[in-house]
Chains A and B, each alone.
Chain A
Amino acid sequence: MIKRMDAAIAVDIDNVTKRYGDFTALRNASIDIRDNEFFTLLGPSGCGKTTLLRCIAGFEDISSGAIRLYGQDIAELPPNKRPVNTVFQQYALFPHMNVLQNVMFGLQRLGKSDSEAKARAGHVLDLVQLTQLAERMPSQLSGGQQQRVALARALAPEPRVLLLDEPLSALDLKLRQAVRLELQQLQKETGITFVFVTHDQEEALTMSNRIAVISEGQLQQIGSAREIYEAPVNKFVADFIGETNLIDVDVKKITDGTATCLLPGGTKFSCPAAKGAHEGPGHLSVRPERVTIGKAKGSLITGTATRHIYLGTDMHIDINLQDGDVITARVQNSETANIPEVGDEVGISFEASAARLLVD
Chain B
Amino acid sequence: MARKVDLKRFPGFQSMTYLCLILLYAPLLIVMVYSFNDSRSITSWGGISLRWYEDVFFGLEAEKFRAAAFNSVVIAIIAAITSTTIATMAATGMLRAGKFRGKSFSFALINLPLMVPEIVTAVATLIFFSAIGFNAGYLTILIAHIVFCIPFAYLPIAARMQGIEDIYEQAAQDLYATRFEAFKLILLPLMAPGILSGFLLAFIISLDDFIITNFVKGAGIETLPTAIFGAAKQGIKPNIMAISTLLLLVSVVFVTLSYLIGRMGQNKNGKQI
Point out residues on A near B: beta carbons under 8 Å: 57-59, 78-80, 84-86, 88, 90-96, 105-106, 109-110, 138-139, 146, 153-154, 157
B186 CB contacts on chain A under 8 angstroms? 94
Structural contact, A86 and B176, CB atoms closer than 8 A: no
B273, A93: Cβ atoms closer than 8 Å? yes
Pair B268/A95 contact, Cβ less than 8 Å:
yes
Known A92-B167, A92-B171, A105-B172; further 8 A-B contacts with Cβ < 8 A: A79-B170, A80-B175, A80-B176, A92-B165, A93-B171, A95-B268, A105-B175, A105-B177
29 A-B pairs with C-beta separation under 8 A: A59-B170, A59-B174, A79-B174, A80-B174, A80-B178, A85-B174, A88-B171, A90-B167, A91-B273, A92-B167, A92-B168, A94-B172, A95-B190, A95-B268, A95-B269, A96-B189, A96-B190, A105-B172, A105-B185, A106-B175, A106-B176, A109-B175, A109-B177, A110-B176, A139-B273, A146-B273, A153-B175, A154-B174, A154-B175
**Closest A-B pairs by Cβ, 9 of them:** A106-B175, A109-B176, A92-B171, A79-B173, A92-B167, A95-B269, A86-B174, A80-B176, A96-B189
Question: Which among A86, A91, A96, A153 is the interface contact of B269 at CB below 8 angstroms?
Answer: A96
Chain B 22-56 per-residue mask, 1 if CB under 8 angstroms from chain A, else 0 = 00000000000000000000000000000000000
Point out the residues of chain A lying under 8 angstroms from B171, CB to CB. Answer: 86, 88, 92-94
Give the distance in Å from the alpha carbon of A58 to the alpha carbon of B171 in the complex. 11
A109 closest partner in B (C-beta): B176
Q: Which of A78, A110, A157 contacts B173 (CB 8 A)?
A: A78
B272 proximity list for chain A (CB < 8 A): 139
**Nearest CB of A to B190, in Å:** 6
- In the complex, the answer to whether B167 meets A88 with C-beta atoms within 8 Å is yes
B178 contacts across to A, CB distance below 8 A: 80
A-B contact count (CB 8 A): 69
Compute how far the CA of A332 lies from the CA of B250 in the bound complex, rounded to whole angstroms: 78
Residues of B within 8 A of A138 (CB): 273
A59-B170, A90-B273, A92-B170 are contacts. A109–B268 as well, Cβ < 8 Å?
no
Cβ contact within 8 Å between B268 and A85 = no
B61 within 8 A of A: no
Residues of A near B172 (CB, < 8 A) are 94, 105
Query: What residues on A are CB-neighbors of B173 within 8 Å?
Result: 58, 78-80
Once bound together, how far apart are the Cα atoms of A279 and B167, in whole Å? 50
Chain B residues with Cβ below 8 Å from A153 are 175
| Assembled-state Cα–Cα distance A106/B176 (Å) | 6
Q: How distant is the Cα of A95 from the Cα of B186 in the complex, in angstroms?
A: 9
Can you list, as one digit per residue, whether each of B181-207 has a CB less than 8 Å from chain A (1) or not (0)? 100011001100000000000000000
Complex Cα distance A154/B173, Å?
12
Across the interface, do B174 and A94 meet the contact criterion of CB distance under 8 Å? Answer: no
Q: How far is the CA of A105 from the CA of B184 in the complex (A)?
A: 13
Residues of A within 8 A of B170 (CB): 59, 79, 88, 92
Interface string of B155-175 (1 = CB under 8 A from A): 000000000010110111111
Contacts of A106 in B (CB 8 A): 175-176
Give Cα A93 to B269, complex, Å.
Answer: 11
Contact of B181 among A79, A85, A109 (CB under 8 A): A109
Note all chain B residues with C-beta closer than 8 A to A91.
273
Shortest Cβ distance from A59 into chain B, in angstroms?
6
CA distance A331 to B176 in the complex (A): 53
> What is the CA–CA distance of A92 and B177 in the complex, to the nearest angstrom?
15
Shortest Cβ distance from residue B62 to the other chain A in the assembled complex, whole angstroms = 46
B177:A80 contact, CB within 8 angstroms: yes
CA distance A302 to B171 in the complex (A): 58
- A294–B269 alpha-carbon span in the complex (Å): 63
**CB of B119 to closest CB in A, whole Å:** 43
